[in-house]
């Protein structure tokens, strides 16, 4: 009789523990779903396009985008259509939106070592890898040669007022490590040779100043996806 009571008690305790574990799993899954939704819903949406220098009625003096805006990047037929920011370091705009507010999705931003007028031979722009092609989440697609060839055009407006306009031509893409100095050290002399050697897709050589777009390959990874454009002079 004592043995039967023991096993009934053990079975009851087991059921309780299993229930608690299942509830915890459901809570964790629910939190992850909410977190993903929250991050996505707080990613820059199309409303920011009202402050693009080419928008009708645009007035740079009335724009809520901060004075750190140095340009506007557009890649045709993608979601990439954002202001380009530049902080005093490369940390500020990881979690700050163009309006100066905290945001997990951050901003698209130019390396702080680059000239803000994109006059350098090699300029480096960063952005988070977001779902649904938001921010720089669309860069993965450029690792496919056919996709790159059919999405090779873009535009770079320079300055807060977009007073200078450049056509961009995408010519190469690759995966690289975050510590590959040839592509992440601005001013590195071996950048073009590195691109020629390591590119997964390369349709031609650059015919002008290079603008590189960089994002994380996946969360927590030191691998990066880079897409290379040149400014059509």
Beta-strand pair 223-232/122-126? unpaired
The pLDDT value recorded for residue 176 is: 95
pLDDT at 98: 96
CATH 3.30.465.10: does it fit domain 46-232? no
Q: What percent of the chain has pLDDT over 70?
A: 80
pLDDT at 61 over 70: yes
Q: Count Cβ atoms below 10 Å from residue 72 Cβ, excluding itself.
A: 25
**DSSP single-letter state for residue 114:** S
| Res. 222: pLDDT tops 90 | no
The model's pLDDT over 68-113, given as tens digits with 9 standing for 90+, comes to 999 999 999 999 999 999 999 999 999 999 999 999 899 999 999 9
Q: What's residue 40's pLDDT?
A: 44
Q: For residue 221, what pLDDT is reported?
A: 73
Report domain extents, the chain: 46-232
* Cα gap 44→226, rounded to integer Å: 21
Band of the pLDDT at 133, cuts 50, 70, 90?
A: confident
* pLDDT over 60 at 209, yes or no: yes
Determine what percent of the chain is predicted with pLDDT higher than 90.
68
The three-state secondary structure class of 185 is coil
In terms of Cα–Cα distance, which of 39, 41, 35, 227 is closest to 136?
A: 227
Q: What's the mean pLDDT in 190-201?
A: 95
Q: How confident is the model at residue 58 (pLDDT cuts 50, 70, 90)?
A: confident
Alpha-carbon dihedral sign for residues 176, 122, 136, 99:
positive
């Amino acid at each position: 009789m004592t043995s039967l009571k023991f096993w009934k008690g053990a079975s009851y305790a087991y059921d309780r523990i299993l229930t608690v574990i299942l509830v915890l799993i459901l809570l964790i899954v629910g939190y992850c779903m909410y977190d993903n939704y929250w991050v996505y819903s707080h990613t820059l949406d199309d409303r920011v396009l009202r402050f693009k220098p080419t928008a009708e009625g645009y007035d740079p003096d009335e724009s809520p985008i901060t004075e750190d805006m140095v340009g506007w990047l557009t890649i045709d037929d993608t979601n990439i259509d954002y202001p380009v920011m530049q902080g005093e370091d490369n940390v500020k705009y990881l979690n700050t939106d163009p309006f100066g507010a905290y945001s997990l999705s951050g901003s698209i931003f130019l390396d702080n070592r680059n000239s803000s007028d994109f006059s350098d031979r090699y300029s480096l722009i960063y952005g988070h890898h977001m779902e649904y092609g938001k921010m720089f989440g669309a860069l993965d697609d450029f690792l496919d040669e056919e996709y790159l060839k059919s999405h090779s055009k873009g535009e770079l407006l320079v300055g807060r007022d977009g007073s200078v306009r450049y056509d961009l031509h995408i010519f190469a893409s690759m995966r690289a490590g975050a510590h590959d100095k040839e592509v992440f050290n601005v001013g590195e002399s071996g950048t073009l040779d590195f691109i020629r050697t390591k590119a997964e897709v390369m349709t031609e050589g650059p015919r002008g100043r290079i603008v590189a777009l960089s994002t994380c390959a996946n969360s927590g990874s030191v691998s990066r996806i880079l897409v290379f454009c040149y400014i059509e002079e």
